[in-house]
Amino acid sequence: MSDRKLLWLAGLGFLFDSMDVGILSFIIAALKIDWQLNAQEIGWIGSINSIGMAVGAFVFGLLADRIGRKPVFMITLLLFSVASGLTALTTTLWAFLCLRFVIGLGLGGELPVATTLVSESVPVQKRGRMVVLLESFWAVGWLVAAVISYFVIPVYGWQVAMLLTALPAFYVLYLRRQLPDEERSKTVTHRAGVWENIKGVWAKPYRKQTMVLWVLWFCVVFSYYGLFLWLPSVLVLKGFTLIKSFQYVLIMTLAQLPGYFTVAWLIERIGRKPILVIFLTGTAISAYFFGNADTQSSLLIAGVFLSYFHLGVWGATYAYTPEQYPDGIRATGAGMAASFGRIGGIVGPLLIGYLVAVNISVSLIFLVFSIAIVISMLTVLIWGKESKPEKVTNK
């Protein structure tokens, strides 16, 4: 199979994953009115999704090292598609929350497994660039979610939008025929047990890399979900109307794609570790200036740079993570790092909500996220291991 075809097959899985997460923010707004939800109940919708993603990343990462990447990729895609469609039939918050947890299982499991599949299947010289390009489908998925929500929800209701998110289930049938079976027997002589894989991730040769990845993932996910889920609200707090805040967030979202493409172009030229340090530094600086912006133009410029650098970090992180481990524990290691990171996805939005409630200034809130990013940058800079493959010369 050509590298380009593999990228599209796995990338569409990323797109569907992102589309489901993106549409949730619009669904929440509709549910708040339809079901008269309070702030605590709305908070639980986001939190239960992140909890499911944390569990899914861990469980399906282990399973992928046991039964293979292809079947787990299809299972996770099918899981979140079907459960997402079923939410259209719910009439209570409790039923909706249960299904959001199941959806989170599939969403959290699909991302690291798809990344590992692509990372293992392309030539080492192109691995980093391909994984970052795979990540760029995430930004496209958010844009698709915005389009669906804008045109469907006001006219047909949120239930129809959720039914549309079930369509990726049919994509599994196509994947089954098109995605090649893995040939991993050359490097793996036996399927290790679950506990053996977990111990392998924390074994002495990989312990330092594991700790670096866990700090990196926690800080990146913590800041991303804390910052971006609250961007419209923060803009309103700064005095903008809700409509104007949505326009600004859309412009900032568009800056995600150049961030991915820049990293994809540079990552094979200067390496994984330098690109992570550069883009983490850019994220921290942008977050600080966004929190302290006091004019419309400075706010928009800082927001664009924040989106550009932060999503570039995501692309580099996904390329960097699976390369820290050998084939036999690669999906387990990537899944455990992503799972730990999802804890940050639970803490970030809850923390910023609490800080806003007690009237902490926006500048101080964004300083907290800047500090978190600086911590991850220093961790990678001091203890991170470069994983860029050596150039292979033709003989």
What is the total count of domains within the chain? 2
Q: Is 20 contained in some domain?
A: yes
Question: What is the CATH number for 137?
Answer: 1.20.1250.20
State which of 158, 176, 194 marks the end of a domain: 176
Where is average pLDDT lowest: 26-40, 109-123, 311-325? Answer: 26-40
One domain for residues 131 and 228: no
Distance of CA 282 to the CA centre of its chain: 19
Locate all alpha helices (DSSP H) within 122-193, ordered by sequence: 127-156, 158-164, 168-178
Q: Is 60 contained in some domain?
A: yes
Nearest to 161 by CA among 31, 341, 4: 31
One domain for residues 210 and 155: no
One domain for residues 109 and 255: no
Which segment, 136-145, 256-265, 385-394, is predicted with the most confidence on average? 256-265
Could you tell me if 352 and 220 are in contact, meaning their C-beta atoms sit under 8 angstroms apart? no
State which of 123, 158, 176 marks the end of a domain: 176
Report field, pTM of the whole predicted structure over 0.95: no
State which of 159, 176, 193 marks the end of a domain: 176
One domain for residues 127 and 212: no
Q: Quick check: 185 pLDDT over 70?
A: no
Q: pLDDT band at residue 356, thresholds of 50, 70 and 90?
A: confident
One domain for residues 160 and 227: no
Question: Which residues span the domain enclosing 47?
Answer: 1-176
One domain for residues 228 and 302: yes
Nearest to 132 by CA among 251, 259, 288, 229: 259
One domain for residues 325 and 260: yes
Tens of pLDDT, residues 277-321: 999 999 999 999 988 888 888 888 998 999 899 989 998 998 899
One domain for residues 92 and 211: no
Nearest to 345 by CA among 56, 14, 12: 56
